Every structure is written in C-alpha cells, then in structure tokens.
Structure 1
Amino acid sequence: MAREKKQRRANGRRSPLAAAALIGIGLLMTGGLYAGASAAVASTDETSSASAHANVEDGEKLFQANCATCHGLNLEGTETGPSLFGVGALAVEFQVSTGRMPMQMQGPQADQKPVQFTDTQIQSMAQYVQSVAPGPDFPSERVLDGEGDVSRGAELFRINCAMCHNVAAAGGALTEGKFAPDIQDTSALHMYAAMVTGPQNMPVFSDMNLTEEDKRDIISALVYQQEAQAPGGFTLGSLGPVSEGLFIWIFGIGGLIAAAVWITAKSN
C-alpha cells in the first residue's frame, strides 16, 4: 500500500507552487524584453530625429552656398531665379538629382548634366526646402512599383503626354528652343515628380487631372516600355517616319547609286 501511494504521488501532477513559479518567470522575462525593446525603439527615434535635424542644417548650408544666389537666402527668388515657396522636397530632388540645378547659365530651359551632389546632400537640401516652404513630398512605394494597369497607363500617356514626349517617350521639340526630354531611361520617382511638380514647360497634373492611380498606371506603362524589347529591331530613335525615311534615303538610295556606278564601271 505504501509503495502504491508513492507511485501515485510520483506519477501525479506537479505542485501548484511550481506552476506559479513558471508563470512568474515567464511574466518577468516578457516584461524585461518589452522594456528593452521599448527603450531601443525610443533611442532609435531620438537618433533619427537628431539625424533629420542635422540634415536640415546641412541642407541649409548647401542651399546658401549653391542656390541662394538665384533663389534668395529665404527662398524668395531673385531677378535671375524663381521663388521656391511651395515647391517642396520632391521638386528639389528632381531638379538637383538630374543635374538640371544648379544651372550653368540662363537659357530656354535647364538641361540635364552631370550631378554635382551626393544623394545625402540632395536629400539634405530637399528636407531644408520642405521645412521652410512645404510642397509636394515623396509618394508611397505603391505608386512607383510598376504593378499598375499597363494598358490603361499607355492610353493615359497617349492622351496627356505623347503630344510633347512622343508616343514612344523619345521626346520632341517645342517652341523657342525648348524641348520635351527623352524619358525612356527616366526613373519611376522622376516620372512621378515631373507629373506632380511640372518642371520646365510641363504642366502640373494634380489629383484633379490625374489621380494617384492614374499616375501609377502611366508609370507602369513607361517602366514596361523601358524593359520591353523592340519587336521591329532597331528603333532608330523611335522617331517614326522621320528617322526611318532618313535611313532609307541615305542607305537605300545610296546603295542603289553605288550599285549603278559599279555596274557602269564594269561595263566600261
């Protein structure tokens, strides 16, 4: 009987005190991990805030050294450069990261040239302008993902953009020495920035004209066109009958003339 009772105790449940101890240890570990994670997140937020503040200060110094001559110390503009009130971070990133700004000289429009600043410096100037004169800011990643409706985007591009940029996005001439640039290699961010900020002679497409979804579809169509191979072989600049006719005139007729001269020389 005594052995049977011992076996029952040995094979029975654990003491209630052991379960309470395990629960307490679990709560202590969970609380400690939560407190540590909260402190780490708070520290990261403080570091990010300090870094952003430092970037704005750096951007102000860069702006005063490279942009204030034309745009004014307070972004108010001068006789040689427009005011930047309301342009926002997106316009600064577009103009500076494509080399259009700073301009080397006054002209019909600012053309692309080698970029003079690093990405960090460009972001610093963009944050500074955004802090002083808020305007259009960077879009969500979804707008730039290239996963929109390509067919619908191509139709919207033909209706709203092709008259200047060419149906193949190869660019085209405008009046008074101005031109619509080639956007066959333009990034998705810069496509969006151009639609929202309206650089040079391009109109601004607000959400009343083209919704965010419309812009996403247009960007998707252009990205698809950039990645797709030309089914007809050489694109010849994608300028249609102009370049194709010139090719035939030079090489086609030139080849016929050369053949005629050769036949005549052989007969003589």
Structure 2
Amino acid sequence: MSRITARRRHPLARYAVLIFALAIFGVGYTTIAKFSRPAEATLATGQDPVAEGKNLFQAHCSSCHGLSAEGTSTGPTLIGVGAAAVDFQVSSGRMPAANPGAQAPRKPTAPWVTPEKIEALAAYVQSLGGGPTVPEEKWLDASLGSEAKGGELFRANCIQCHNWAGGGGALTQGKYAPALNAPSEKQIYEAMATGPQAMPVFNDSTITPEQKRDIIAYVKGVREQTDPGGFGLGRIGPVTEGLVAWIVGISVLALAAIWITAKKRQKP
C-alpha cells in the first residue's frame, strides 16, 4: 500500500492520470457517436450516407475544397457550414462551380446530381463540424406564414440588395444579389440560414423559423403579382420610372419640335 502511495506522489503521476482519462474519453465518445446514428440515416441502397457523401465529395468537390474539406486557394473550407449550405449550393446548380469567379451563378444542376446524392453529400459535410441543417417541411409551408409580416421583415432586412420585389441588383466587386423568382421555398430558407456569397447569415436568433416562413410567404406573394398598369420596368421603383418618363418625354417633345419647324418651312 505504501508503494502505491509513493508512486501516486511521483511528479509524473498527474500527467499519467490525465493521459489515461483523455484516452478513456476519446474511446467512449467514438463508440457513442458510432452507435448513436439513427437507423433511418441510410440511403435506399443501404449504404451509409456519410460514406457515400465522402465518395461524392472526393470525386466532385475536393479539387477546390480539399480532400478533407479544409479549403484551398480556390475554395473555402466547408467545415462547419452545415447540410443546409450544401443543399442550397448544389440543388441550385451553383456548385460544383464551372469557373471560379466573384460569384457562382445559378445554373442547371450537374448530370450526376440527384436528391439522394445531395442528401448524402450534405450528410458528409454535416458530419465534419455541424452547422445549419436542412429545414423541416413545416417551416417551408408558405400557407402557414403571414405575407404582411413577411413583407415588413423583407423590407427591413432584404430590400437593400434584392429590392422590394425580389428583383435583385448589383453589389460591389463583381457580386450581385440574385433575383428571387427562381429559388424554391427550401432554397430561400437555406439562403437566409447560411448566408451564401455576399449575403449575411440570418440565424434563428436573428430571424426565427416562423419569421423565415413569413418572408417565404411574402416572396411567393410578390411572384404572383401582376402589373396591370403597364410595364413593370423591373419593379425597381420611381428611379427607373422617372428615367423612362424623362427620356420618353424629352424624345416626344424633340420630335414634336422638329415636326412643327418642318411644317413651317414648307409654307411659301
């Protein structure tokens, strides 16, 4: 007993205990994480979605983002961006990017992209460091949202870049706010949650899921509006309307002046 007590007082004993505790903790965490994955988290083929997503990532994404998603000079790290960011970027065709530039444009999805593969790729990126997850269906049902409240939120947080009708607009350094007539309800929600490109991140503490649903309802409502008074002119507002009125008005007056003077010259 005295021998054990003497060893316990050895200067290196505390470090040995610390290393032993860390080893036990690491093995325990790995075991729990391995067996706590839900049973439904498998693809229709029975393959682990994380493993399938890793294969897809290494085949289609690693050239820009690195083999372990650590990022490279041409692509940022994806650790911590979450499944929602992957679903948004890949489902909208922005990724994989054909040519690196100031901003990845929306385009048709790649031939290999399917909903199942997007889900697997998102599961792999989610496993690397967490982040925003794909939203639940109840937050995407615009019929449950308030278009009026969504309009107030949109005008307070989004109109500066997307204009009041979601028509988009130019930003600095070659970037731009895209029009909102194409994205799905899920993509609109994911864009708010992840902040793609130059867009800020509106997490749940800034704009709640209920408020995001209200904004989706407003955007969908604006899409369905018509322009019974004439041309919409991009719905940018009085600037374009005044410019068109000025140009058209000046042109009409100039033509009228030319016509009047031409008629006077014809008199004997």
What is the TM-score of this pair, normalised by structure 2?
0.74
Distance 1:185 1:255, change over 3 A: farther
State the partner residue of 1:59.
53
Q: Does 1:88 align with 2:82?
A: yes
Aligned residues: 224
| Secondary structure of 2:103 counterpart | coil
Q: Does 1:175 align with 2:169?
A: no
| Secondary structure of 2:78 counterpart | coil
Runs of 4+ in structure 1 displaced over 4 angstroms?
Answer: 45-50, 54-58
Report matched runs for 1:68-147 at 5 Å. Answer: 68-117=62-111, 118-120=113-115, 121-147=117-143
Distance 1:47 1:204, change over 3 A: closer
State the partner residue of 1:205.
202
Kindly provide the amino acid, as one letter, of the partner of residue 69 in structure 1: S
Distance 1:48 1:176, change over 3 A: closer
Distance 1:250 1:180 in 2: 27
Distance 2:95 2:121 in 1: 12
| Secondary structure of 1:223 counterpart | helix
Q: Does 1:257 align with 2:254?
A: yes
Distance 1:141 1:230, change over 3 A: farther
Alpha-carbon offset, residue 58 of structure 1 = 4.2
State the partner residue of 1:185.
182
* CA deviations over 1:111-152 (Å, ceiling 9, x no partner): 223322433343332233234443222212221111211111
| Secondary structure of 2:202 counterpart | coil
Structure with more of its chain in helix, by fraction: 1
Q: Percent identity?
A: 52
Structure 2 residues not aligned, in runs of 5+:
1-38
Alpha-carbon offset, residue 258 of structure 1 = 2.4
